[in-house]
Structure 1
Amino acid sequence: MPTRPLLERIDADWRRVRPGLDPTPMRRIILLARTAAQLARAVEQVQGHHGLNSAQADLLFTLYRSAPAEGLTPGDLAALSAITPASITNRLDTLTERGLISRETDPADARSRRVQLTAAGRDRVEALLPDHLRNEQRLLSTLSEPEQTELERLLLKLVVGMEGREES
């Protein structure tokens, strides 16, 4: 069901079964979740055209933008990306098998590894990046530039507030 009729139905259903209940918070969370899901699908579609899923693309983008010449440790890579540390090893294995990254022993600490983009990995990022950014701009284009700035401000406020509550 399209989002607008779904939200209207949810409101009507709650008014029917619990007339005094305000379902606004539920409606807003559903709206955020549906928005996030649609954005994820649209982003993954473009990344898929380049032979990557979102997690793989995120790791490659992180290495491209953040890694020094010696690379990043898997822990640093996890901290700088949207990937959880628990799921990073499998993704690194896949990217290594595909020749997009390399993992070398850290010369300063033989117990540690450094992850780096290979030439093929750098080429993949440089091919994906223009399509990725064009797609993301298209996804946001329904909003004016000031609206996009306000959306970013509000979402950052929301997530920072939730992160603060998690630490308490």
Structure 2
Amino acid sequence: MADSSETRPDFADIAVTHWERERPDLDFTAMATLARFARLHIAGSRRVDAVFAAYGLDRGEFDVLASLRRTGAPHEMPPSQLAEILLITRAGMTKRVDRLEARGLVARRADPEDRRSLRIGLTPEGLDLIDAAVAEHTANENRVLGLLTDDEAHAFDATLRKLLAALEGSTPKQA
């Protein structure tokens, strides 16, 4: 089946054509691809955020709950470790945890090995909510990537992995 988007100019093609006319001295080869990628990020984020909103969560709150859930029982960790995993400041983590705690989705408790430290853990309500939200989230993501063939999806993933490794210069930390 032919993909009409390959033959019909899109917003990126038009912008590049305009730039090539105005600045023929520059190479705009990457511009269309990266503009499409940026727009894909925006469109994908809207779909993802809509799922989170249906569960009363924003992206940051989902990330906290999901990080706790995927660590396995007892679904808890120190707030500093959560902040490190999520690449946010400790102050930002405190704000997220405060909101989630006020809703009864997480609880703070003293660390049994170091009573001066805290651990953040999912409550039963938080566990139920994140389990439901992550089920819908993964279905949503699979619908998006389902627009590609398996070969296209694997190639896309491999390409993104290569670009990220080169731009970030390191491998992701294991949580």
Same fold flag (TM > 0.5): yes
Q: Which runs of 5+ in 2 are unaligned?
A: 1-8, 171-175
Contact 2:106 2:122 (8 Å CA) reproduced: yes
Of 86, 89, 93 in structure 2, the residue corresponding to residue 85 of structure 1 is 89
| Shift of residue 107, structure 1, vs aligned partner | 2.2
Give the count of matched residue pairs: 161
Q: Which moved more, 1:26-35 or 1:67-76?
A: 67-76
Aligned pairs for 1:1-168 (under 5 A) are: 5-69=10-74, 71-81=76-86, 83-86=87-90, 87-164=92-169
CA distance in 2, matches of 1:77, 1:26: 36
1:75 Cα deviation from its structure 2 partner: 2.0
Q: Determine the structure 1 residue equivalent to 2:5.
A: none
Q: What's the TM-score, normalizing by structure 1? A: 0.87
Q: Percent identity?
A: 33
Q: Which amino acid aligns with 2:158?
A: R
**Which residue identity is paired with 2:11?**
L
Give the whole-Å Cα distance in 2 for the aligned partners of 1:68 and 1:75: 19
Unaligned runs of 5+ in 1: none
Structure 1 residue ranges, 4+ long, deviating more than 4 angstroms after superposition: none
CA distance in 2, matches of 1:111, 1:47: 34
